[in-house]
Homo-oligomer: A and B are copies of this chain.
Amino acid sequence: MLRGSLDTLSHTAMKTKISVIVWNEFQHERQSSAIAEIYPDGMHQVIAQALRVGDADLEVGTATLDQPEHGLSEERLAGCDVLVWWGHKAHDQVDDAIVDRVQKRVLEGMGLIVLHSGHFSKIFRRMMGTNCSLKWREADEKERVWVVEPSHPIAAGLGEYFELPYEEMYGERFDIPQPDSTVFISWFEGGEVFRSGCTWERGHGRIFYFRPGHEAYPTYYDANVQKVLNNAVRWAAPRVNIVDNCPNAQPLEPIAKKALNFAKVGILQSTKDIQ
């Protein structure tokens, strides 16, 4: 069984690797010594490294808020298959023009993986259309992540659940549109539950939100978390790359001559005109 082989050959242009960019606002790690101890080079480096050690089918780079265009130039995004996003305290410093650019690429087919506090990022809220708010608590508490959809590719290789001994709590209600698939639901020591792994399709792109990953804990070193990220990147890889248009279409069948003759308005619009 070679699942997906057809996609590779005929559904997108043949490429040998999935190009991944791990984006991080990279502020906590430079402003807090406690957090710098856990992630001395930034969370993005630990996540990128975790993606590099798997099969050699990923090409992984990083980008950060303080780079020009936040490291997400037109050219770089054009070649990106999957964008992984971590942000928290500087969501409002992300330029709206870059958010537009990322959204456009997702709708064309690029994958987007949003981590933890990225629930409040501009790009996630843009893709969801909702507030994306939730309950939260920092209390060094245990999280048990239950696998609700074991057949989902993002759950491949996991057991029935995995545990994180120290995590921030996120609790329902999580203000998101109904997910296409709720892959994980978390149990928290302090009494809450949370839909911790959710997928959506928007335009031609796939989106995965994954809850764990508070900056003050070594979550991204966890083997199960790394497995989820590896799975998710492959699941979110583009199947197509389709640039949006809104065409005036000629009829495919004859249209009968009618008794009345109405005015034609003839406004040609594209999403570019109405931004």
Chain A contact residues, CB within 8 Å of chain B = 1-12, 15-19, 28, 32, 34-35, 54-55, 57, 81, 88-89, 91-92, 103, 107, 109, 120, 122, 125-142, 144, 146-153, 156-157, 160, 165-166, 169, 171-175, 177-178, 180-182, 185-193, 195, 200-205, 214-217, 230-231, 234, 237-240, 242, 244-253, 255-256, 258, 260-267, 269-271, 273-275
Contacts and interface: CB of A to CB of B under 8 A. Distances in A.
Given A131-B107, A151-B201, A192-B187, A251 B1 contact: no
B251 A137 contact: yes
Contacts of A264: 138, 216
10 contacts: A1-B238, A2-B17, A11-B156, A92-B275, A126-B129, A151-B205, A153-B239, A175-B203, A189-B256, A216-B265
Nearest to A269: B120
Contacts of A202: 129-130, 177
Contacts of A193: 146, 185-187, 193
Contacts of A4: 2-5, 7-8, 153, 234
A177 B126 CA distance: 13
A274 B246 CA distance: 32
- Which of the listed residues A171, A173, A250 has the most CB atoms from chain B within 10 Å of its own CB? A173
Q: Work out how many copies of this chain go into the complex.
A: 4
A238 B153 CA distance: 11
Contacts of A252: 144, 190-192
A231 B269 CA distance: 30
A263 B34 contact: yes
A231 B6 CA distance: 7
A81 to B, nearest CB: 6
Given A157-B10, A234-B4, A263-B32, A251 B190 contact: yes
A64 to B, nearest CB: 19
Nearest to A185: B193
Given A4-B4, A191-B253, A273-B92, A138 B266 contact: yes
When A and B form their complex, which 4 residue pairs have the shortest distance between CB atoms, in order from nearest?
A: A4-B4, A190-B251, A191-B252, A11-B156
B253 A189 contact: yes
